[in-house]
Structure 1
Amino acid sequence: MQLTDTGRIFFERCERIAQERDEAIALIGEQGEPQGDLRVTCSTAMDERFVAPIIRRFTMPHPKLNITIDLSNRIVDLVAEGYDLAVRTGHVADPRLGARRVASRTLFTCAAPGYLARMPKPEKVSDLAKHECIVGTNTVWHFKRGDKAFHHNPKGRFRCNSGHAVIEACIADFGICQLPDFYILPHLKQGMVELVLEDQQPEDEAIWAVYPQRRHLLPKIRQVVECLATDLAASMS
């Protein structure tokens, strides 16, 4: 016998309800052990390098906890798609969601010495219009001088949703890019890239652990968020 799509959805929902019952019982117990399924979504770069190792270490001492991590650069609807937790940047505007700031990241703008040898170094944000810009997942670049914020819509011949590919194109003299610190700093230390517009660097960008409001008291959510708040900033430094 094979379930129809409707039957499968109903069965999965019943399983979820049973898990939530067990979690509710754990919540009022003395220990509140994390258990059941924990579905997490995060951007590819953040998760592979930082989030997945932290969640893996968190999971190991909890044999009743099952983890699924979805790597995606899209903004997932946690409530509609049945996710427990997201790690994301930017502003959290959905009233159905709770959020806790667990870390921050710095955005740098840079270019390779070879590119800057043939093109004048930009002195102001408007100068970027004359340059080849390498575009990643952020299609708007942010800057700040004093109390005034600026933005730039980068244009260029190379676009990719992989930060690794963007920084490699930058190192290859393809143009200017703006990326989080963990992509740029290793190459900056080796002299493979140089900062541009460093006096107009934007404010640090918050990284949030985001979860459906109704689930934030469950032990598995509460404890993994606490773990991220403790370990993520240190692992990114």
Structure 2
Amino acid sequence: MKYLEGIAEFCAVAEVGNFTGAANKLDTSVAQISRKVASLEKQLGVKLLHRTTRSVSLTEAGTLYCEQALPALKALEDAQLSVSALQNSPQGLIKLTAPVAFGEAFIAPLLNAFMQKYSGISVQCIFSNEKLDIVDMGLDLAIRIGKLEDSTLVAKKLSTRHLYVCASEQYFKENGRPKTLEDLKKHTLLVGSQPYWRFLVDKTIRAIPVQGRVRYNSGNALCSAAIAGLGLAQLPGFYVREALASGKLIEVFPQYKDKQEAIWAVFPSNRNVAPKIRLLVDFLAQHIVSDS
């Protein structure tokens, strides 16, 4: 079935708009993508792509061919997924991304448990605090936290987490405890990657701009600074739960705690979700503890 060669590679280039993204999506090399597309063009006797050093675009023939070939390719993928779903054990590679600290603390252990349960699954996870383009990078899904930006991605809520405002007992002995949100202006604040703190006031989210002498883009570093008595920090539960339980940190403003910050799994909307991906997402949703 030589006439099928190169179709998947061409459709991948057409979908993501470049050879690198297509290579990532199909887990192959840019050179292989280029060879397959060139072979398809030679076989058809037409030029499907305009190539420059900066961009790739479809020719008129390429646009027409893509419109006809893409649905057929999707149908073949659906057929393969249907057959794969009949297997007793899921198979194949899952590629995803997750935030660094949350991913290392929660996602990685769950991925390990998932692979122990399903020996036919392998995982490639990129831990990054950047919002990576999962379509361009050929990833199956991303784990994201908080409010999602408007996009073409499809999201599934996995769990929720809470934000705690806390400091050490020594800090409160030296500086007193804030009694109102306005009192925060009088205190030393430990600032993270966001220039504001979020509170739930009268069922409405209120964002308060914050500044401080310490600014870290690491939750673990902020937690250490708070334990050291350098000021107040607002952090998710998984950073401070142990310190709160041991008394190293003391919480303030529990009445204003936002309890609805969500943890999401997001997927490309134009890609079929394989059974193995759905299985992983369901596994994560079942095992990620609320208030993470």
Q: Give TM-score, length-normalised by structure 1.
A: 0.85
Write the deviation string for residues 175-212 of structure 1: whole angstroms up to 9, x where unpaired: 00000112122111111111112222223311111111
1:90 match = 146
After superposition, residues 45-124 of structure 1 pair within 5 angstroms as 45-124=101-180
- CA separation in 1, counterparts of 2:272 and 2:86? 17
2:30 match = 9
Letter in 1 for 2:82: I
Letter in 2 for 1:132: T
- CA separation in 2, counterparts of 1:74 and 1:212? 17
SS for the counterpart of 1:60 is helix
Q: CA deviation at 1:147?
A: 2.8
Which stretch of structure 1 is more off in the superposition, 29-38 or 179-188?
Answer: 29-38
- CA separation in 1, counterparts of 2:243 and 2:123? 34
Write the deviation string for residues 132-165 of structure 1: whole angstroms up to 9, x where unpaired: 1111233321012223432222211112122111
Alignment of 1:131 onto 2:187: yes
After superposition, residues 181-196 of structure 1 pair within 5 angstroms as 181-196=237-252
Q: Using a 3 Å threshold, how does the CA distance of structure 1 residues 63 and 203 change in structure 2: closer, same or farther?
A: closer
CA RMSD of aligned residues (A): 2.8
Q: 31, 40, 44: which is aligned to 2:86?
A: 31
| Pair member with larger Rg | 2
Q: CA deviation at 1:93?
A: 3.5
Higher relative contact order (CA 8 A, sep 6+): 1
Q: Which runs of 5+ in 2 are unaligned?
A: 1-18, 24-28, 37-73
Q: CA deviation at 1:106?
A: 0.8
Kept in 1, the 8 Å contact 2:198–2:207? The answer is yes
SS for the counterpart of 2:111 is helix
SS for the counterpart of 1:100 is strand
Letter in 2 for 1:31: L
- CA separation in 1, counterparts of 2:271 and 2:35? 17
Alignment of 1:206 onto 2:262: yes
Which stretch of structure 1 is more off in the superposition, 61-70 or 135-144?
Answer: 61-70
Kept in 2, the 8 Å contact 1:111–1:194? The answer is yes
2:70 match = none
After superposition, residues 138-217 of structure 1 pair within 5 angstroms as 138-217=194-273
SS for the counterpart of 2:130 is coil
Aligned residues: 229
Kept in 2, the 8 Å contact 1:41–1:83? The answer is yes
Write the deviation string for residues 61-112 of structure 1: whole angstroms up to 9, x where unpaired: 5454331111111111211222111111122344421111111111110011
Q: Give TM-score, length-normalised by structure 2.
A: 0.70
SS for the counterpart of 2:86 is coil
Letter in 2 for 1:11: Q
Q: Using a 3 Å threshold, how does the CA distance of structure 1 residues 54 and 23 change in structure 2: closer, same or farther?
A: farther
Letter in 2 for 1:139: P
